[in-house]
Amino acid sequence: MSSKPTALEKSYEPKDVEARWYEYWESNGLFHADPDSSKEPYSIVIPPPNVTGVLHIGHALDNTIQDILCRYMRMKGKEVLWMPGTDHAGIATQNVVERQLAEEGLSRHDVGREEFIERVWKWRAESGGKIINQLKRLGASCDWDRERFTMDEGLSRAVREVFVTLYEEGLIYQGDYIINWCPRCHTALSDLESEHEDVKGGFWYVRYPFKNGKGHLTIATTRPETMLGDTAVAINPEDPRYQDLADDTLILPLVGRELPIIKDKYVSLDFGTGALKVTPAHDPNDFEIGRKHNLKSIRMMDDDGRINEQGGAYQGLDRFEARERIVADLEEQGFLERHEEHIHSVGHCYRCKTMVEPILSKQWFVKVGPLAEEAVRTVDEGRTRIVPEVWNKTFYEWMNNIRDWCISRQIWWGHRIPAWYCECGEVIVAREDPTTCPVCGSSNLRRETDVLDTWFSSGLWPFSTMGWPDKTDLLEKFYPTSCLVTGFDILFFWVARMMMMGNKFMGEVPFKDVCIHALVRDAKGQKMSKSKGNVMDPLLIMDEYGTDAFRFTLAAFAAQGRDIKMSEDRIAGYRNFVNKVWNAARFTLMHLAEDMTEGRDLEPLLEDRWILSRSVKAAKEAGKAIEEYRFNDAASAIYQFTWHEFCDWYLEFIKPQLYNADDPARQAKTRRVLGEVFSRLIRMLHPFMPFITEELWQRLPDSLGSIMKSDWPVISEADYDSEAEEEMKIVMEVIGAVRNIRGEMGVNPGQQVPLLLKPADQGTFELLERNRDRIALQTKAQEVSLEMDGEQTATMATTALSTLTVLVDLKDLVDFKAEEVRLGKKVAKLEKEITKSEKKLSNQGFVDKAPQEVIQKEKDKVDEGRAQLERLKDNLSRVRSFL
């Protein structure tokens, strides 16, 4: 007799369970990884959320997937390290603290760098851990004792070591280059931090006159303000339109600067007029042309996006104001030939959404070509596998066309670049702060003010978090990591850079698999955004529906390569599933609380053999799907087994044995099987629904410790029982056929029916004979007749199965005339509704004006209506055949 409390409350209340069990897991160290363990290692590093962040739907999906993997691998007997932490988020965090200063009427320059950094650390201590608590609310089983921060002392040492090493090897250098500049944040951005958006712009066709007075050359530009920095005009040497141009010179309109005409195959023959204005200081492609042809670079814009002294009469104007003035002057002076509206893609700052400006600037760069080559090789050779494979092509395209990485940022919060400048011109990059110049001996050194791109430090995450550059037990045990789970949007921001850094400094890939998940969109398939008002707050969802239902919904729709359409209706549907599990547990535990020692040696009944076999197959299918990152398939396998096999069929089949006090041995045997199968069921559910499964595990009479420490259901070939499955399949088909007939013909649920089964062969006859009582009980049949040559009467409804025919005599059970009238009315009503929808869809005005989702809803209504109409007409025909 178990001393555990087994009785469950009538309904499941997540809020009463979740906090309690999470505290239990944490306080008992169940998330903690042991590097000295002899178990096979499994490790994941969390994509570190920004310290400024709050949990959003993308975080919820990403971390739910990771938690499923970690909980599953623990149950498979592996030593699991899930390394957590947060990113210092240079630009975002600096913006937060600058806004606080602005409320005091101050700027960061008013307080100075040192006090500003102190304020950032203070903000981090007070508010920076919010998202960690929210991840715990989601059930994330991270090793929180090892939580890291990209600005903590250990990671800062790793960052400095990497920077200095790369500099010493010539892979970090300082140089003039076109960078993406944010005039609002006053910092450089990498190509990946410049998010492209379509904006309404135009082509301005400007006449550049020849110096010799013989006409002009028309040039199309989308940014007329940058012409202030033009230093040449380029044409393609193979362009037949310009073959007669030789050593000609053009005059820059409004400015009067002489511009040489150069020939370069980069110029497209099909774009614009085929003549390209070259502005080396304000366009990356123009910069390359300028370098090739030794052109002068003129920077005509300052850091605020205003025209500088190089702009002459336009000095001091904002770039967009300058554009308007320049266009007006071009038109007034006869240089503007025409203007065409044009939608084009323009980079915007990923933080403040300001349109970025390509500007020539002295910055620090990583020469990534050699590093990228090795990263590509790791994927080529299968050392790192990207799942799904469709992302390989995108990865290769980006890596094979990669540009040097601008890593300097003109902000204060971040890892300050370890470089010093001496008056003699020497640049000193060192692991320890220098006191004198190694060349001239001067102690008058100036520290670099720029900090490193945030992605530089997070690129070291898989090994810096485990103690590198020291050789630690953690690195020895858990590096390389097993899997990285991430969204496709940071495949290059983060994943590729970790691959480059890991290969370089560890000599091994940082992860064996990269599992890339899709976006979570709203129910209409639209990207969630505050401006659209369609954002779903995970915290509110978990309050309303419970964390387990939310997690299971995310997993159930996480198909590889397919975005998730999320709606509250879907979450509510899986809350119903959670309640189904709870109710099944109430029934199960009501019977498991008693002595189950009897009946050990009895042969299991057919339904017991069947459910044991099905549970093993479900565990195998779900486990394989998890290991292959098919989380939706895993969730589906467990859902189907739980709801449709265990709850809908098995629990109904065993009630006669459970309530038969006259046969205690058989009763006990049934309880034993019920307890074993329910234990398997909640263990399969645990990675997806950690809270409710822990609550139920603790109520099982024979459970020990936490469900987190239990084993994934053991899969043995001996547990497969194909004979039982085949036999039960036929029995269930018969029962299903009878239930369908009863439902379609409107037979009262409590009314008993006469049932005739006509088997096609002797084997089926014997099978039905063995299961006559089961079938009678589940179909409410007053009698079950077995006749291979049984006669069909006029009042019998029939269903043909593969090896038998099912016949239900409806005489005295159904008023066929009344049923004909009832079905006829339903057919007429449905036909009217379908016609109404079809008229809507044939109305061009409706189709042109209605939103796409409204049109689709109407189409779905027609399709569903036609399917239902076909079923109703079939039933009507069947009823009429009895008249």
Domain boundaries, the chain: 187-358, 539-720, 725-814, 817-882
What is the band of 581 on the pLDDT scale with cuts at 50, 70, 90?
very high
- Percentage of the chain beyond pLDDT 90 is 67
Note the Cα 402 to chain centre separation in Å: 25
What does the pLDDT average to over 222-229?
95
**H-run or E-run covering 173:** strand 172-182
Whether cis (ω within 30° of 0) applies to the bond prior to 510 is no
Note the pLDDT of residue 597: 62
Of 701 and 147, more confident:
147
- Looking only at the bridges linking them, the beta strands covering 753-759 and 804-809 are antiparallel
Cβ within 8 Å of residue 255, ≥6 positions away: 227, 228, 312
Distance of alpha carbon 174 from alpha carbon 420, whole angstroms: 13
Ligand-binding site membership of 504 (annotated):
no
- Higher pLDDT among residues 872 and 42, named by residue: 42
Residue 26: what residue type?
E
Residue 334 CA, distance from chain mean position: 54
CA distances from 178 to 18, 189, 710 (A): 52, 11, 57
pLDDT exceeds 60 at position 1: no
- The per-residue DSSP string of 487-506 comes to EGGGIIIIIHHHHHHHHHHH
Decide which of 3.30.2420, 1.10.287, 3.30.70, 1.20.120 is the CATH code for 817-882.
1.10.287
The counts of H helices and E strands in the chain are 29, 29
Strand arrangement, sheet containing 511-517: 385-387, 511-517, 481-487
Please check whether residue 391 is in contact with residue 496, taking contact to mean a CB–CB distance below 8 angstroms.
Answer: no
pLDDT tens figures, 691-743: 999 999 999 988 899 999 999 998 777 789 999 999 999 999 999 999 998 88
Residues 130-148, mean pLDDT to the nearest whole number: 96
Structure tokens at 671: 């309880």
Check: CB of residue 509 under 8 Å from CB of residue 503. Answer: yes
Residue pair 43/84 in contact by the 8 Å Cβ criterion: no
pLDDT-derived band at 179, boundaries 50, 70, 90:
confident
Examine the pLDDT at 562 and tell me if it is beyond 60: yes
**What integer pLDDT is reported at residue 878 of this predicted model?**
74
d(CA 536, CA 544): 12
Global pTM value? 0.84
Cis peptide before 260 (omega within 30 of 0): no
- Report the amino acid identity of residue 301: M
Return the amino acid letter for 163: F
Q: Is the predicted pLDDT of residue 142 greater than 70, yes or no? A: yes
Residue 595 has pLDDT above 60, yes or no: no
pLDDT at 613 over 90: yes
Average pLDDT over all residues of the chain: 91
Amino acid at 86: T
Q: Which residues pair with 429 in a beta bridge?
A: 419
E strands present in 523-585:
564-565
Look at residue 84 in the predicted model and tell me its pLDDT: 97
Q: Write out the two tokens for 495.
A: 């994943």
pLDDT recorded at residue 530: 66
Distance of CA 1 to the CA centre of its chain: 47
| CA dist., res. 613 & res. 605, Å (int) | 12
CB 256 within 8 A of CB 211: no
* pLDDT tens readout for residues 840-869: 888 888 888 887 778 888 888 888 888 888
Q: How many CB atoms lie within 10 A of CB 53?
A: 17
Cα(591)–Cα(765) distance, integer angstroms? 35
Identify the DSSP state of 803: S
pLDDT tier, 2 (very low <50, low <70, confident <90, very high otherwise): very low
- pLDDT on residue 599: 63
> What is the mean pLDDT of the segment spanning 313-339?
96
pLDDT in tens, 504-522: 999 999 999 999 988 888 7
CB atoms within 10 A of CB 171: 17
> What's the pLDDT score for residue 594?
58
Alpha carbons 752 and 337: distance in angstroms, whole number: 90
| DSSP E strand boundaries for 494-651 | 511-517, 520-521, 564-565
pLDDT tier at 134 (50, 70, 90 boundaries)? very high
Q: Which of 656, 691, 732, 655 is nearest to 581 (CA)?
A: 691
Check: CB of residue 249 under 8 Å from CB of residue 257: no
Q: Which of 17-26, 348-357, 762-771 has the lowest mean pLDDT?
A: 348-357
pLDDT value at position 731? 97
Residue 185 and residue 352 in contact, taking contact as beta carbons nearer than 8 Å: yes
CA 743 to CA 740: how far, in whole Å?
5
Domain 539-720 falls in which CATH fold?
A: Isoleucyl-tRNA Synthetase; Domain 1 (1.10.730)
Q: Which residue has the higher pLDDT, 291 or 31?
A: 31
Reply yes or no on whether the pLDDT at 598 is more than 70.
Answer: no
The pLDDT value recorded for residue 672 is: 92
Identity at 23, one-letter amino acid code:
E
> What CATH number has the domain spanning 187-358?
3.90.740.10
Q: Rounded distance, CA 790 to CA 723, Å?
A: 27
pLDDT of residue 305: 93
pLDDT of 361 over the 70 cut: yes
Q: Are 481 and 510 in contact (CB under 8 A)?
A: yes
Measured over the CA atoms of residue 694, residue 697, residue 703 and residue 708, the dihedral's sign is negative
Which letter does DSSP use for residue 491 in this model? Answer: I
Instruction: Report whether pLDDT(281) > 70.
Output: yes
| pLDDT digit string, tens, across residues 64-86 | 999 999 999 999 999 999 999 99
Write down the pLDDT at residue 201.
Answer: 85
